[in-house]
Structure 1
Amino acid sequence: MSDPVDKLNAMAIFVRVVERGSFSAVARELQTSQPTISKVLQALEARLGGKLITRSTRKLSLTDEGQRYYNECRLILAAVDAAEHSFQSGRERAAGPLKIGSSVSFGRLQIAPRLPDFLKHYPDVQIDLQLSDQNQDLVSEGLDVTFRIGALNDSGLIARLVGNTHRVTVASPDYLRQNGQPQTPEELGRHNCLMFNLLSSQNLWLYTKDTQRHEVRIKGNAQSNNSEAIREMVLGGLGIALSPIWLFSEDLSAGRVSAILQDYSTLSLPIYAVSPANRRQSARVKAFVDYMAQALDKAPELHINK
């Protein structure tokens, strides 16, 4: 392994194995075999004179030396990436695999429908869209970019604001017939309110009117970590929800739900495109984030008066 390029390649493979936690996953990414990945790591360990990774039947673990080497490799590879990007600036083509993360609802309703048009413009990109309603770990899951809605808690990430989504208070006509329609936010305290429990302000709904702020502690007999589950509960007449307007845009048009408390403004939620801090944004990542930012800005279903 005297060739510097081979050394860098081995370091990059080692870093990907650590981040993915799997030899076979990296082999699939690189379109090679698991034995090939194992041989590269064995050769790297032989050159260094020590073990980097210990393998059990369930998972991979770094040795103390492996952890130190992994930290150094990430810095070296980031520096190499930055140098190449500086040299290639303006010439890099958007091509290759692009692994995107998102919540289930946002990915299904806002990202997936836009992929055909994006890929018409960038036919050499291969998309892998991973959906989860838990905050995805970009490094361990090998994500190039993920989309998050709401305030960000992890300051160690590169985040770009790509849009905002207005929220609307909704209930089914059936629920409102049986329980009455609240005229003020304070009246929500007497209603069955459905909580989306991944937001930090899950049981505190905020409204403003004429510069006056209304904070309402809501309660109800159902909650979920999936916004489409909340939608189904609302459609079934179970209660009232405060949700992104794009989740109910078709239901509002069809009369399946009614928007209530429309004289009051609600807090919009920011939409961020988030990338790992130690990984240079490739041309394909930048192209996709730019595309989504433009698409979301023009999307009428994200805005109340647009």
Structure 2
Amino acid sequence: MSLLHPQLAAFMAVIDEGSFERAARRLSLTPSAVSQRIKALEERLGQILILRQAPCRTTAAGQQLLRSVQQMRLLEIETLDGFGAHNDEMAGGRVSMAVNADSLATWLLEPLAELHREHGLLFDLRVEDQDHSTRLLREGNVLGAVTADAHPVQGCHVEPLGTMRYLPVGSPALVERYFGAGVDARSLGQAPMLVFNRKDDLQARFARSVTRATLAPPVHYVPSSTAFVEAATLGMGWAMAPESLLAKPLAAGALRVLAPKRWLDVPLYWQHWSLRARMLSAITKVLRKAARDALR
């Protein structure tokens, strides 16, 4: 059981779960009881903390409180662990992290599994594009983020992890059809393109590195790292994919590199709150080791 004040525990549960109903199930309360605790907390602080919508979100005041309570929760785990107070909820406390989908699909799960085995940690992973994940840190929703942003969020520390290389690939048939005469503005403007989601600009960045022309190719949105590569092998479009996901399809001839001498290197960083917490140090150490083996 958490030592957080019941009102703060209710606040955290609503934000973690996204609704009063799911928070009530987590806390073994009624939704009405959770609502009363949140209302009492808001009256006590003189601020609206939660926007009652689907999913529930914090206001600016709620973001400030969220960040503080997340830190309190982490230090609570740290303190009880120091006294040997292990139980399923405390020793297995949730660690909220923002991660990019490609890291999750390639190198990140193994170190997280190691942390779970050694420390009993449970992970609440928020998948976000590597160029946008620091927003979750800034809002206080996560205690750390695998990000492409080297500039630290206020109150956070940045650790370089390494570089993820992305190669431009397509199926042999697609490459022959659209890129037989080369990779240029004409071919890039006509060939269908795979994009992870509307925040993903890797393909556009690659096109800009080849030509300065304004291009508007046909686009498929495929928000899954593994399905993204599979869609490329099926000839749906060309894509920028991490080289670690491409070894097998390239070796099997299911994919070809559009331009063998061109790629994009995306540096990755681990940003986390600047707290002297042993658990954060353990997470950082394991992530650094795994990234050193997996990234450039």
Say yes or no: TM over 0.5.
Answer: yes
Secondary structure of 1:166's aligned partner: strand
CA offset digits 1:100-127 (Å, max 9, x no partner): 333444323332354433433x242123
Distance 1:203 1:52, change over 3 A: closer
State the 1:176 CA deviation: 3.1
CA offset digits 1:255-285 (Å, max 9, x no partner): 21122422x343311223344x6x8475434
The question of whether the paired residues in 1 share the 8 Å contact of 2:70 and 2:143 is answered with: no
Higher share of residues assigned strand:
1
CA offset digits 1:129-155 (Å, max 9, x no partner): 34466956637794333333x457995
Output the CA distance in 2 between the equivalents of 1:232 and 1:248.
10
Q: Which residue of 1 aligns with 2:88?
A: none
Output the CA distance in 1 between the equivalents of 2:238 and 2:123.
36
Output the CA distance in 2 between the equivalents of 1:14 and 1:146.
25
CA offset digits 1:223-254 (Å, max 9, x no partner): 32624454233211233323322232321232
Distance 1:123 1:220, change over 3 A: same
Q: Which residue of 2 aligns with 1:287?
A: 282
Q: Which residue of 2 aligns with 1:210?
A: none
Output the CA distance in 1 between the equivalents of 2:287 and 2:142.
17
The structure having more radius of gyration, on CA atoms, is 1
Output the CA distance in 1 between the equivalents of 2:57 and 2:241.
41
Secondary structure of 2:257's aligned partner: strand
Secondary structure of 2:245's aligned partner: helix
Secondary structure of 1:261's aligned partner: coil
Structure 2: which 5+ residue stretches go unaligned? Answer: 85-90
Secondary structure of 2:142's aligned partner: coil
Secondary structure of 2:246's aligned partner: helix
Output the CA distance in 1 between the equivalents of 2:41 and 2:125.
32
Calculate percent identity across the aligned residue pairs: 16
Output the CA distance in 1 between the equivalents of 2:54 and 2:106.
35
Matched letter for residue 96 of structure 1? G
Output the CA distance in 1 between the equivalents of 2:226 and 2:25.
32
The question of whether the paired residues in 2 share the 8 Å contact of 1:163 and 1:296 is answered with: yes
* Number of aligned residue pairs: 277
Structure 1: which 5+ residue stretches go unaligned? Answer: 1-5, 208-212
Two-structure CA RMSD over aligned residues (Å): 4.8
Distance 1:186 1:258, change over 3 A: same
State the 1:194 CA deviation: 1.3
Distance 1:145 1:182, change over 3 A: farther
1:126 aligns with 2:122: yes
CA offset digits 1:34-63 (Å, max 9, x no partner): 5765565566578x497856896867698x
